[in-house]
Amino acid sequence: MCQECGCLEVDQIKIDGKLLSARNHTHQHDHSHHAENNVDTGREISIKQNILQKNNQIASHNREHFAAHHVFSMNWISAPGSGKTTLLEKMIEDLGNNLSIAVIEGDQQTDNDAARIRQAGAEAVQVNTGAACHLDAEMIHQALHKLPLQKNSLLVIENVGNMVCPTAYDLGEHLKLSIISCTEGDDKPLKYPDLLLTSKVLLINKIDLLPYLDFNVENCMQWAKKINPEIIIFPVSAKTKEGLSEFYQWLQQNL
């Protein structure tokens, strides 16, 4: 379980395999290392507020960095295995000739996804979060130092596979995009409303599998709209590329 204060995992964060020493625990906050046993609720809330406040300051800095470089940035959030990396591979293949795309990959361990993105032809930096279940603004700030960004380019941040915690963290991105794949069940918007509330766009992926599943796309879309009436939804398949051109069209209009 990821602890909001980060005590348990800060020593394990790696950028492209290198330990992130700047984040080693420096005791800037006044709480016990055994927080789960002896911190009262009031203190816990204030620690969480401090963490999010600090995160938001760094997110603002990241936002300035994106603006200065004319970079459009998206934060992709979903359960593990919904198809984020596959969709990115297809997007690089389809748009990469005319649009510079860079990716920050978040996973607890391995650089498998960064390797896949480089293989597809785009720049990528891997962030390994250790025990943490989400990326935060500081991790993105550090990763940006390793990532040469082209002017007028697109940056996609593939968050750690998790439908809950990443929704709470502003990374400085222009928008959050969520993905629900058909194998996960059509009621996911109802079960994970924060995912839809914080997202500008929802991709419903793996529609090539619909003939084999009891997934009702209409229901999924209706439930997503009930939670966030403004959300823009594209049913797609990374495998067959069905629906991707509509998504690309929207993307190019919003860069």
Ligand X SMILES: Nc1nc2c(ncn2[C@@H]2O[C@H](COP(=O)(O)OP(=O)(O)O)[C@@H](O)[C@H]2O)c(=O)[nH]1
Residues that bind ligand X (CB under 6 A): 78, 80-86, 161, 205-206, 208-209, 237-239
Residue pair 121/96 in contact (Cβ under 8 Å)? The answer is yes
CB nearer to Mg ion: give 73 or 86. Answer: 86
Token pair 């929207």: residue: 250
**Residue showing the smallest CB distance to Mg ion in the complex:** 85
Q: How far is the CB of 202 from ligand X (least distance, A)?
A: 14
The smaller minimum CB distance to ligand X, of residues 63 and 118, is found at: 118
Distance, in Å, from the CA atom of 143 to the CA atom of 126, rounded to the nearest integer, reads 8
* Among Mg ion, ligand X, none, residue 80 binds (CB under 5-8 Å by kind): ligand X
Which residue of this chain has its Cβ atom nearest to ligand X in the complex? 83
Residue entry with tokens 């929704």: 167
Q: Is 56 exposed, middle or buried (0-12, 13-18, 19+ CB in 10 A)?
A: middle
The least CB distance from residue 140 to ligand X, in Å, is 18
Q: How far is the CB of 238 from ligand X (least distance, A)?
A: 4
Q: In what order do the strands lie in the sheet with 201-205?
A: 18-19, 14-15, 123-128, 101-107, 154-158, 72-78, 175-181, 201-205, 232-235
**Shortest distance, position 84 Cβ to ligand X, whole Å:** 3
Candidates 73, 75, 85, 159; binder of Mg ion (CB under 5 A) is 85
Using CB under 5 A, which of 9, 89, 111, 113 touches Mg ion? 113
Q: Give the dihedral sign, CA 246/249/251/254.
A: negative
